[in-house]
Structure 1
Amino acid sequence: MGLSTAFTELFGLEHPIALAPMGGSAGGALTAAVSRGGGLGLLGSGNGDEAWLARELPVLSGEVAGRPWGIGFQTWAVDDGTIARALEHGPRAVMLSFGDPGPFVERVRGAGTTLIIQVTDLEEARRAVDLGADVIVAQGTEAGGHGARRGRSTLPFVPVVVDLAAPVPVLAAGGIADGRGVAAALALGAAGALLGTRFQATSEALVAPATARAIVEGRAEDTERNRVLDIARGSRWPAEYTARTLGHPFLDRWRGREDDLTAAPHARREYQDALAQGDIPALPRWAGEAVDLIDDLPSAADLVGTLAARAEEALARAGGR
């Protein structure tokens, strides 16, 4: 029967599923695959690095086959020029996460582009509504990668945002990695789900093979939120955002000692030396709490349809009870 929602109708999608615009790993091939599969692919441009975009946008345009797609930014890391350059490529949507989206709203709206704003607490949700977001993503703390240090869990957070934002469609994010999770998002009143970790473990994702294997083999208890790896690698991520990752040697050494690590330049040099020697992964292995549910590396295009079909089955089972 298909799962039609306000989100699918807005973009003309087959399925209420979106790709989280994961910085670096959601490249052109992955974005195009999700869109071809009937969902909304969102390119993970992060800070809008021009060289990265110059490499990935041609891949996307060559494979997306006319389907709708978008591009996501870390709001704290970009400026108006970054947004303007991205809009020249004609995305159907721009997603802004982590920081005040206000300075960029007029630019996005002026291009006739759909504005998606990700929120991690109710203050951000109210701000997104006031700014006129076309779609709001409610991200729970179960999500892999960065999120609010003092965020809320997906299950209680999503329906509150749904009620606050109505009639604006809301996507649920955080701890969703299979069709049952998509079904749960819809049951909470969301118009769809935005998935990250599940799409990292696909054949099109820009991740090292070792990272993909680590996700397939990982367990929820292997993940934790921290700032240690951002500090060690000299990342400019604001302190209010921690990142959920799989285990790492530097986590074991510096867990709970973030201030000490910040004041220890020799430790950050050791991190860079270990990186150069190949002793540690080139990037932290971002992974959410639903990592247990991931046991294969399919094509993302096929995965979208599978997720939607399993969601329909889950909803039918629930309705039959």
Structure 2
Amino acid sequence: MTLSTAFTKLFGVRHPIALAPMGGSAGGALTAAVSRGGGLGLLGSGNGAPDWLAREVPLITQGTDRPWGVGLLTWQIDARAVERALEYEPAAVMFSFGDPSAYAERVRRAGAALIVQVTDLEEARQAVDLGADVIVAQGTESGGHGARHGRSTLPFVPLVVDLAHPVPVLAAGGIADGRGLAAALALGAEGAVVGTRLQATAEALVHPSTAAALVEGRGEDTERSRVLDIVRGSAWPSRYTARTLGHRHLDRWRGREAELAADPQARAAYEEDVGRGEVPPLPVWAGEAVDLVADLPPAADLVAAMAEQAEAALARAGRTAPPEGG
């Protein structure tokens, strides 16, 4: 069977899989590979820096003629960043972590689909009121940043699906293989946004040590915290924490965020450790499903394999369903 959903029909893609627009890893090569493989690649543009877009977007257009999009961190951008992204004529613009209402109409006028990621029901209602074309419901299992007081993917996604209907919803958080994609579809989502698993692919913009850590990592080793944002001097809003693999500065400052923020020597010590190569340049963003990462395949192959596995899982579930009236 073919996994045809409202999402695949909207973008004309083969598989209901989107790349999480991860800053620092979802560059042009990975975006192109996911789109080439039949999903929707989303470039992790972050703040829409012009030099970064100028370097990475040509890698997409050289690597695929399929639809692709751009992801922006809403708290970090202004109207100029949105305009810059739209100049490249993406099929979609995804906004995460903040209120994108100031930019929605501009995206619509450009003919791009408006994708809004939400981490709680209040954000989901705002996205519906804004007229989002697609809503991404992110559970707390996700790697990287997410809601400090959010909900797990399994209970959160159906709530957003019911609230947003008929707007298509994508599930995000803890989805790293076709079984997770099948589960998302069973919850009423029209597809899934995949981050950690696609970060561990041949085309991802990650340091080799990060790739190795993802292959070796375990879900119980991940932790959601603000410590690594504070020690790096990152201005992420406090309502969004980051799930990462273990880190020596996380161990040093766990539960002491206020003391860390007030310590002028803490960031210098962190930068010295980075400079000596004792800690990676960036934290290893990783979700709870990192156990399912065992290799670093080409992303296009991974997308196709996930879709095939999801089809098999859904077929298996159909065969084992109880008889009608049972």
TM-score over 0.5 (shorter chain): yes
How far off its partner does 1:25 sit?
0.5
Q: Percent identity?
A: 73
For residues 24 and 295 of structure 1, what CA distance do their matches in structure 2 show? 21
Question: Residue 295 of structure 1 aligns with which residue?
Answer: 294
CA contact (8 A) 2:115 2:136 kept: yes
Read off the aligned partner of 2:162 and give its amino acid letter.
D
Read off the aligned partner of 2:56 and give its amino acid letter.
E
Q: How many residues align?
A: 320
Matched, 1:96 2:125: no
Question: Residue 323 of structure 2 aligns with which residue?
Answer: none
Question: Residue 60 of structure 2 aligns with which residue?
Answer: 60
Query: Given the two structures, how large is their TM-score scaled by the length of structure 1?
Result: 0.99
The alignment partner of 1:256 has SS state of: coil
Read off the aligned partner of 1:5 and give its amino acid letter.
T
Show structure 2 runs of 5+ residues with no match. Answer: 321-326
Task: Kindly provide the CA deviation profile for residues 200-248 of structure 1, in whole angstroms up to 9, marking residues without a partner as x.
Answer: 1000000011101100110000000011110011001011100000000
How far off its partner does 1:60 sit?
1.2
CA contact (8 A) 2:50 2:84 kept: no
Question: Residue 312 of structure 2 aligns with which residue?
Answer: 313
How far off its partner does 1:304 sit?
0.5
Question: Residue 139 of structure 1 aligns with which residue?
Answer: 138
Read off the aligned partner of 1:56 and give its amino acid letter.
E
Question: Residue 39 of structure 1 aligns with which residue?
Answer: 39
Query: Given the two structures, how large is their TM-score scaled by the length of structure 2?
Result: 0.97
How far off its partner does 1:59 sit?
1.1
For residues 46 and 29 of structure 1, what CA distance do their matches in structure 2 show? 16
Read off the aligned partner of 1:39 and give its amino acid letter.
G
For residues 49 and 150 of structure 1, what CA distance do their matches in structure 2 show? 30
Task: Kindly provide the CA deviation profile for residues 37-57 of structure 1, in whole angstroms up to 9, marking residues without a partner as x.
Answer: 000000000111222112111
For residues 305 and 174 of structure 1, what CA distance do their matches in structure 2 show? 19
Read off the aligned partner of 1:61 and give its amino acid letter.
T
How far off its partner does 1:110 sit?
1.0
Task: Kindly provide the CA deviation profile for residues 101-132 of structure 1, in whole angstroms up to 9, marking residues without a partner as x.
Answer: 11110110110110000000000000000000
Moved over 4 A (4+): none
Q: Report matched runs for 1:78-117 at 5 Å.
A: 78-117=77-116
For residues 293 and 274 of structure 1, what CA distance do their matches in structure 2 show? 30
Show structure 1 runs of 5+ residues with no match. Answer: none
Matched, 1:227 2:221: no
Q: Report matched runs for 1:208-223 at 5 Å.
A: 208-223=207-222
What is the CA RMSD across the aligned residues, in angstroms? 0.6
How far off its partner does 1:79 sit?
0.3
Read off the aligned partner of 2:211 and give its amino acid letter.
A
For residues 138 and 27 of structure 2, what CA distance do their matches in structure 1 show? 21
